[in-house]
Amino acid sequence: MKIAIFGSGYVGLVTGACLADVGHDVICADIDEAKVARLNLGEVPIYEPGLSALIGANVSAGRLSFTTDMARAVAHGDVLFVAVGTPSDVDGSADLKQVLAVARTIGENIGRYKVIVTKSTVPVGTTHMVASEISDALGKRGAEIAFDVCSNPEFLKEGAAIEDFTKAARIVIGTENPKALQVMRQVYGPYNRNHDKIIAMDIRSSELTKYASNAMLATKISFMNELANIAERLGADIERVRIGVGSDPRIGFHFIYPGCGFGGSCFPKDIRALAKTARDAGVTPHVLDAVQAVNVRQKHRLFEKLSEALPDLGGRTIAVWGLAFKPNTDDMREAPSLTLVEELLAAGATIRAHDPEAAAEARHIFAGKEGILVCDTFQDALNGSDALVICTEWKIYRTVDPELIRNALKSPIVVDGRNLYEQSTMQEAGLVYHSVGRPTLPPQ
């Protein structure tokens, strides 16, 4: 099938590469000329495990290409995916400017029947707005060309996006036309052979399903972080509580790890957008508001814990391990590390930071900011530092010898926002180990 994808960001690139990999003829269109030029040279602007190789293989095979020519992309595709960004507006709502701009471009250039798919995460009602924009553009042309719209939300985890696409638990398709549903079944046919994973529903329900899924996962995280704070006051161990709770099959172990809050391009933005949608509909989103409030507060816990351990941070040097909002990505959007860095610099501390994949992104974000150095190795970040704070649970940090940490630090203080280590191991190494939802043990 001939497919065009508008937007060559995270969702667009993963979708395009995975669809091309099963034989579809895919063009990814983007208005960013520099990005398209890099992609055509085989340079992938984001880090996602396996994505660079997948794109390279399909570009070489002639099944995947990139362009800034929107008219060409519209003409090419029988199915047109809208996968542009929907960032938060000032009031928390999703900014739909890019989505509606693509819809107008489609209406101005469409020449035959096509199925237009909203892949971007959009508020309920947006896909119908896309249809209206296309119809208006056709009306201005005096053209009568049939088309269908459908909603097909993505459920991709950064760091595991290719597996999530190719081995999806479900493929949600919202449409009111059986013809469009049949076309979408053809698109996903190669990934839908073991058993039927397609869940067909109306468009508005499909759009809400995406927000509901992310809101549910974010709620589990904030709930566990709230419990962690309670556990600290009560002298309980949240890790043991987590195992006890997660053993219930009705709850499970996914997304109940305590930590320093969630970030990234999805959860914070989507919670805000759903809360705004609820208010616009006359519903007060009490749970969603609580999820946001707990998460904002949790991002400050690392600085609070460090301040208790080192009351005077002015003039201190602090090592920070992990800058990306989660492992296996270089995405730092709304990462807990950003909150920590801001608070440390305001307190007069100097920062030596490390991240195995987000270093380039961090140097770009912190360019021109005094007081922070992004180091090439985690050992470099430790050297000469007064204390260590861990923000991201990269595997490379999990197996570090505690003795190495103790010998490198001026003070034996570790604040672990991801509970990477056994408390007894850190205690035996002579470290004062502050974690989340567990008692702080003095060094032996």
Q: Is 266 a catalytic residue?
A: yes
In degrees to the nearest 10, what's the CA dihedral of 164, 165, 170, 172? 130
Q: Round to whole Å and give the CA distance between 316 and 389.
A: 13
155-201: pLDDT as tens digits: 999 999 999 999 999 999 999 999 999 999 999 999 999 899 999 99
263-310: pLDDT as tens digits: 998 999 999 999 999 999 999 999 999 999 999 999 999 999 999 999
240-265: pLDDT as tens digits: 999 999 999 999 999 999 999 999 98
From 310, 246, 257, select the one nearest 419 (Cα to Cα).
257
Neighbours of 216 (CB within 10 A): 11
Please check the confidence at residue 92 and state whether its pLDDT lies above 90.
no
- Least confident range from 41-45, 77-81, 274-278, 365-369: namely 41-45
What pTM does this model have? 0.93
From 128, 149, 284, 277, select the one nearest 211 (Cα to Cα).
277
pLDDT at 121: 93
pLDDT at 69: 97
Mean pLDDT of all residues belonging to the chain: 96
Catalytic annotation, pick one of 18, 266, 375, 391: 266
Beta-carbon-side half-sphere exposure of residue 296 (alpha carbons within 13 Å): 9
Tell me the percentage of the chain whose pLDDT exceeds 90.
95
pLDDT at 442: 80
pLDDT at 157: 92
